[in-house]
Amino acid sequence: MRYRYIGGALLAAVSMLAGPADARAQPMNGTIPSTDGSDGGFQAPRQEAVPSYLPTGIAGDAGFYTSAEFVFLQQTRAIGHQTIARYGFYDLTGQTGVAPGTLVGSGREALNPRMFRGSPTYQPGFNVELGYRFDDGTRIFANYMQLYDANYSVGASLVPPYYNVPLQNNQITLADTFVSSPVYSFNSFFAGPTGKVAGVNDNSVYGIWNAASQMDMKFTQRYQQAQAGARVPMLMTDYSRVYGTAGLQFSWFFERFHWRAVSFPSDGNVLPQDAANYTNTLSQRMYGPFIGGGHEIFVANQFSLSFDATGSMLLNVVKERAKYKLGDQTVQSKWGNQEWRLTPNANFAVNGWWYPIEGVQVRLGYQALTFYNTLYMQDPVGFNFGNIAPQYEFKAFRLLHGFNLGIGFFF
């Protein structure tokens, strides 16, 4: 009898396990948005078996996607303050009654990088991405961002500021109609034209950079970035999702300082060999892994908001190049150096998303890219023609920040 009761209990348990389960709520139809503001990418729709109140519901199939984005960023203007030229000319022989090597004129500063007026300019650019999304929501991607050059320039000529011609011994002197720089150790090819200063021997104003009539300087900044990696969903609720990103990153800061001096002969007929060009190029290419994550939350129908952050440790390959070159391109003096350093990087982004139809996503946001332990041109000009060696110094913090607007398509 006891065995009969035990058999009956087992049969009842099996019947309960094999019986029909309770009906569950059916999932909603539509597209779940997903984004990664840290790398500028867009996430393709995906299939989910859970309800979602994110803008367009449940996503479509896995596959390829692409996006294009306009960016408008401002970066730190990283250059030091160095006096490059002054008004007047150097009397090398003392012919004008001063000690040899004395600057004749007011000596007012004519060129200095701090004369680049205003705040750093915003640089337009683009960001493009191509990727593939798998059924589980994981995606792999590759993207590239390019900013157009930021250029700053200023010049000094034979016309002094505000036409202010200084007095010397209570007499008007035209010394300030010349601009001069203390370049030394150059060869005779850079001697400059004859008859530059009326009544002054050519040997007293020897050199293109002494008693020049025109000097101009220009500073150019450029930035490029590329990433390749993967994004993996980590946690999802009805109103939000959390995801992680990781991969490899390439960042490149390119900066160039250009300085040109022109000496006019007495007849005003300027030849190419009467000009001298100087360039200082600082290139910092950075390579390394990045890791980060993001959080997307539902805001309203067809709209969501995302927050993203990534960090990386980059190997910075620094190349420093400086060069003097005669205006006719025949003679030059070069200097170069290369070094390596570690550069931490942290990026942040806030983006608003709009999903008008399935397969199309629009993004508008703000992003900030920060770099630590880079170099900058503290003294962009090395006046020793024979061993140029400009001064580069540690730059604790660089910032690129601004806005982005783009659209993504999914196939």
**Between these two residues, 166 and 156, which has the higher pLDDT value?**
156
Strands 139-147 and 122-133: antiparallel
According to the model, what pLDDT value does residue 38 have? 45
According to the model, what pLDDT value does residue 10 have? 32
- At residue 267, φ and ψ (nearest 5 deg) are -85, 0
Share of the chain above pLDDT 70, in %: 82
Mean pLDDT, all residues of the chain: 85
For the cut 50, the answer to whether the pLDDT of residue 6 exceeds it is: no
According to the model, what pLDDT value does residue 315 have? 98
Give residue-wise pLDDT tens across range 189-212.
999 999 898 888 989 999 999 999
- At residue 307, φ and ψ (nearest 5 deg) are -125, 130
Confidence of residue 301 (pLDDT cuts 50, 70, 90): confident
Give residue-wise pLDDT tens across range 391-401.
999 999 999 99
Give residue-wise pLDDT tens across range 306-331.
999 999 999 999 999 999 999 999 99
363/27 Cα distance (integer angstroms) = 26
Give residue-wise pLDDT tens across range 110-139.
999 999 987 899 999 999 999 998 888 889
For the cut 80, the answer to whether the pLDDT of residue 37 exceeds it is: no
According to the model, what pLDDT value does residue 63 have? 86
405/389 Cα distance (integer angstroms) = 42
According to the model, what pLDDT value does residue 169 have? 55
Give residue-wise pLDDT tens across range 209-219.
999 999 999 99
According to the model, what pLDDT value does residue 156 have? 93
133/21 Cα distance (integer angstroms) = 33
According to the model, what pLDDT value does residue 173 have? 65
For the cut 60, the answer to whether the pLDDT of residue 12 exceeds it is: no
For the cut 60, the answer to whether the pLDDT of residue 21 exceeds it is: no
Give residue-wise pLDDT tens across range 61-106.
678 999 999 999 999 999 999 999 999 999 999 888 889 999 998 8
Closest to 368 measured CA to CA, from 303, 309, 281 = 309
Q: Which two tokens stand for residue 154?
A: 């200023």
Give residue-wise pLDDT tens across range 238-262.
888 899 999 999 999 999 999 999 9
According to the model, what pLDDT value does residue 166 have? 62
According to the model, what pLDDT value does residue 32 have? 43
According to the model, what pLDDT value does residue 135 have? 83
